[in-house]
Amino acid sequence: MTPQRPPSDFLITHNIFDLDQVASISRFRSCAGHRSMSQGSKEPDSSMATYFTTNVKEYPGRPPQIKVYAPFDGYITPMVGGFSFVPKSSKFPGWPFNQYRIIIEHVKPLPEYEGSVEVKAGELVGYDDSSEYFPDAPVKSLDIRVGVVAFPPERNSHQIEPFKNMDSVFQYMSDEVFAEYTKMIPELKSPEDLIIPVEWRIDHPCTFRDDGPYFEHTTTDDSNPRYSDAVDLQSS
Q: What percent of the chain has pLDDT over 90?
A: 63
Q: What is the pLDDT of residues 68-93, one digit of tens each?
A: 999 999 999 999 889 999 999 999 99
- Per the structure, the complete domain to which residue 73 belongs is given by 19-231
- In this prediction the pTM is 0.91
Instruction: Answer whether residue 138 is part of any domain.
Output: yes
Question: What is residue 171's predicted lDDT score, i.e. its pLDDT?
Answer: 97
- Element containing residue 147 per DSSP (H, E): strand 139-155
Residues in a beta bridge with 164: 148
Please report the pLDDT score of residue 223 as a whole number.
67
Residue 129 maps to a domain: yes
- CB 73, CB 120: distance < 8 Å: yes
The pLDDT of residue 221 is: 58
Average pLDDT taken over every residue of the chain: 89
Judge whether 188 lies within some domain. Answer: yes
Q: What pLDDT does residue 236 have?
A: 40
CA dihedral 91, 92, 94, 98 (to 10 degrees): -110
Average pLDDT (142-170) is 89
Residue 188 scores a pLDDT above 50: yes
Kindly report the backbone phi and psi dihedral angles of residue 72, in degrees, each rounded to the nearest multiple of 5, phi listed first: -160, 170
Q: What is the pLDDT of residues 156-166, one digit of tens each?
A: 767 788 999 99
Count how many domains the chain has.
Answer: 1
**Does the residue 13 lie in any domain?**
no
Residue 11 lies in a domain: no
State the pLDDT at residue 234: 55
Peptide bond before residue 44 is cis, with ω within 30 degrees of 0: no
Q: Is residue 227 part of a domain?
A: yes
**What is the per-residue pLDDT for 132?**
77
The answer on pLDDT for 57 being more than 80 is no
Residue 55 has pLDDT above 50, yes or no: yes
| Percent of the chain scoring above 70 in pLDDT | 90
Give 41-96 as a DSSP string: --SPS-B-SEEEEEEGGGSSSSPPPPEEE--SSEEEEEETTEEEEEETT-S-TT--
CA dist list (Å): 112 to 88, 117, 164, 198: 18, 8, 30, 41
Confidence at residue 134, expressed as pLDDT on a 0 to 100 scale: 63
| 111 belongs to a structural domain | yes
Q: Which of 8-12, 30-34, 199-203 has the highest mean pLDDT?
A: 8-12
The mean per-residue pLDDT over the stretch 204-208 comes to 91
pLDDT of residue 178: 97
